[in-house]
Amino acid sequence: MDQLLERRNFVKHSLRFYPRDITARSDLVQTSGATNGLHLILSTLVDLAGVIFVDEYTYMIALETIAQFNTMKIVPVPLDDDGPNVAALQALIDQHRFEATNGKLFWGVYYTIPTFHNPTGIVFSAEKCQQLIKLARETDILIACDDVYNLLHYDDPSAPPPKRLFAYDIADMGRLDGWRGNVISNGSFSKILSPGIRLGWMECPPRCVEALRNSGVLKSGGAANNYTGGIVSTLIQMGLAQRQLEHYSTNYSLRLNAMAEMLEEHLPKECSFRKPKGGYFVWIRFPAHVDCAEFNRYCLEKYSVSAIPGIRFSITGKARHFIRLTFAFHEPDYLRRSVRTFCEAAKDYLAIVASP
Ligand SMILES: Cc1ncc(COP(=O)(O)O)c(C=O)c1O
pLDDT in tens, 24-42: 888 999 999 999 999 999 9
User: One fold for both 3-238 and 242-354?
Assistant: no
Q: How far is the CA of 115 from the centre of ligand 1 (A)?
A: 13
Atom of ligand 1 nearest to the CA of 36: 11
DSSP letters along 42-100, please? Answer: HHHHEEEEEEEEEESS--HHHHHHHHT-TTSEEEEE-EETTEE-HHHHHHHHHHH----
CA distance 269 to 264: 9
| Rg for the chain, CA atoms, rounded | 21
Angle at Cα 200 formed by Cα 172 and Cα 118, nearest 5°?
Answer: 75
Task: Give the residue, out of 148, 151, 313, with the most ligand 1 atoms within 8 A of its beta carbon, to mutate for a pocket test.
Answer: 148
Q: What pLDDT sits at residue 8?
A: 44
* DSSP-assigned beta bridge partners for residue 188: 200
Q: What pLDDT sits at residue 220?
A: 81
Q: What pLDDT sits at residue 219?
A: 84
Q: How far is the CA of 192 from the centre of ligand 1 (A)?
A: 11
Mean pLDDT of the chain: 92
The domains of the chain are located at: 3-238, 242-354
pLDDT at 200 over 70: yes
Closest by alpha carbon to 342, among 263, 228, 240, 244?
263
Q: What is the second-level CATH architecture of the domain 3-238?
A: 3-Layer(aba) Sandwich (3.40)
Q: What pLDDT sits at residue 355?
A: 61
Q: What pLDDT sits at residue 317?
A: 87
Q: What pLDDT sits at residue 2?
A: 41
Asked whether 35 lines ligand 1 (CB < 6 A), one says yes
Closest by alpha carbon to 198, among 33, 23, 26?
33
Q: What pLDDT sits at residue 148?
A: 98
On whether the CB atoms of residues 47 and 68 are closer than 8 A, the answer is: no
pLDDT digits (tens, 9 = 90+) for 41-98: 999 999 999 999 999 999 999 999 999 999 999 999 999 999 999 999 999 999 999 9
CA distance 169 to 164: 9
Q: How far is the CA of 170 from the centre of ligand 1 (A)?
A: 25
Task: Give the residue, out of 122, 164, 190, with the most ligand 1 atoms within 8 A of its beta carbon, to mutate for a pocket test.
Answer: 190
CA distance 150 to 160: 10
Asked whether 59 lines ligand 1 (CB < 6 A), one says yes
Q: What pLDDT sits at residue 356?
A: 59
H or E element in which residue 335 lies: helix 332-352
pLDDT at 112 over 80: yes
Atom of ligand 1 nearest to the CA of 118: 1
pLDDT digits (tens, 9 = 90+) for 276-331: 999 999 999 999 999 999 999 999 999 999 999 999 999 998 899 999 999 999 99
pLDDT digits (tens, 9 = 90+) for 231-287: 999 999 999 999 999 999 999 999 999 999 999 999 999 999 999 999 999 999 999
Model confidence at 4, in pLDDT bands (50, 70, 90)? very low
CA distance 8 to 31: 10
pLDDT at 16 over 70: no
CATH 3.90.1150.10 corresponds to the domain 242-354: yes
Angle at Cα 205 formed by Cα 204 and Cα 206, nearest 5°?
Answer: 110
- Beta-sheet strands, E only, within the chain: 28-31, 46-55, 73-77, 79-80, 83-84, 106-112, 142-146, 183-188, 200-203, 272-273, 281-285, 308-309, 322-326
Measured in whole angstroms, how far is the alpha carbon of residue 7 from the centre of its chain?
A: 24
